[in-house]
Amino acid sequence: MEPTNPDASADADHRTAHSVEGERLLILVCTYNEKLNLPTLFEKLDATLPGADVLVVDDNSPDGTAEWVEAKATKRANTYLILRSGKLGLGTAIRAGMRHAIENHYDWVLNLDADLSHDPAAIPKLLAERSTHDLVIGSRYVSGGGLEGCSWKRIFVSRCANAYARWVVGWKVRDCSSAYRLYRVSALARLDWTRIHGKGYGFLEEILWHLIDQGNRWTEVGIVYTERQRGDSKISIKEALSTIDSLHRVARLRSTKKQ
């Protein structure tokens, strides 16, 4: 579905786009049943970057998330919605948002979770690195980063998953699975998207490999990940298997390239 904004035309230019020092920035938020968290998220976003362009990609949430965004867009300019047919996976949702950023000629797209686990107050730290990097990762595992309110099981699984990813594909990235990222849109536009197949959380590792393999400059800045307080985690066995499949796919790509 095309982006909608009841208070503005869906003109592809988005001429009123928010800019940071002359560069156009799109904040991307992918949702499924996040109606309870969005009011606080938007408040925090506007406290950090007043009037920023925000695109919500919603997978037809039964809790009325899309309806909330549509109502918000009548009061807040530069609020956009892509409403999809159903729960199609985080990877495909982020991909849809990236495609929107490319087609509408943004300079940067910043992705963060809707559940308040990613603090919008950290956005300036990521933006501060954009002059010398094409990808900035909000990392839990570098100086200044961490996890708050997470069970020991969650921390253990997260650390093991990242260690596995680094071992499989040979990365030096400390936090391979962080979704809190700032992407240079021109770098995304140069990717061969026919080679990127991840539909779930594994998309994060897969696109990371392609961007680094393409020679893009990357860095990590420390962020504190806070366990969600409202709503349910979206990670399922199916998503976990999708991540493993994506890692194996990337490992094969790396092996083929070496040969």
Domain that holds residue 105: 19-258
Give the confidence band of 13 by pLDDT, cuts at 50, 70, 90: very low
Would you state the pLDDT for residue 234? 52
14 pLDDT band (50/70/90 cuts)?
A: very low
Residue 19 scores a pLDDT above 80: no
**Average of per-residue pLDDT across 11-37:** 80
Does residue 243 form part of some domain?
yes
Asked if residue 14 is part of any domain, the answer here is no
**Tens digits of per-residue pLDDT, 65-77?**
999 999 999 999 9
Q: Give me the residue label for tokens 């999809």.
A: 84
In a domain, 7, yes or no: no
Please check the confidence at residue 141 and state whether its pLDDT lies above 90.
yes
Query: Quick check: is 6 in a domain?
Result: no
pLDDT surpasses 80 at 17 = no
Which parts of 170-236 fold into alpha helices (H)? Answer: 185-189, 202-213
Mean pLDDT within 39-50: 97
Q: What is the pLDDT of residue 84?
A: 97
Task: Judge whether 192 lies within some domain.
Answer: yes
CATH number reported for the structural domain that contains residue 217 in this entry: 3.90.550.10
For the chain, what is the mean pLDDT?
86
Q: What is the mean pLDDT of residues 240-253?
A: 62
- Residue 16 clears pLDDT 90, i.e. is over it: no
Specify whether the CB–CB gap between 221 and 136 falls below 8 A: yes
Question: Is residue 66 a part of any domain in this protein?
Answer: yes
Residue 227 inside a domain? The answer is: yes
What integer pLDDT is reported at residue 12 of this predicted model?
40
pLDDT on residue 235? 52
The 10s digit of each residue's pLDDT in 185-238 is 999 999 999 999 888 888 998 899 999 999 999 999 999 999 866 656 555 445
Q: Which two tokens stand for residue 83?
A: 């409403």
Q: What DSSP character marks residue 4?
A: B
Residue 217 burial (10 A CB sphere; 0-12, 13-18, 19+) = middle
Our CA dihedral for 56, 69, 123, 167, rounded to 10 degrees, sits at -40
Pairing of strands 146-148, 224-226: parallel
Interval 31-59 mean pLDDT: 97
Give how many domains the chain has, as a whole number.
1
pLDDT band, residue 157 (cuts 50/70/90) = confident
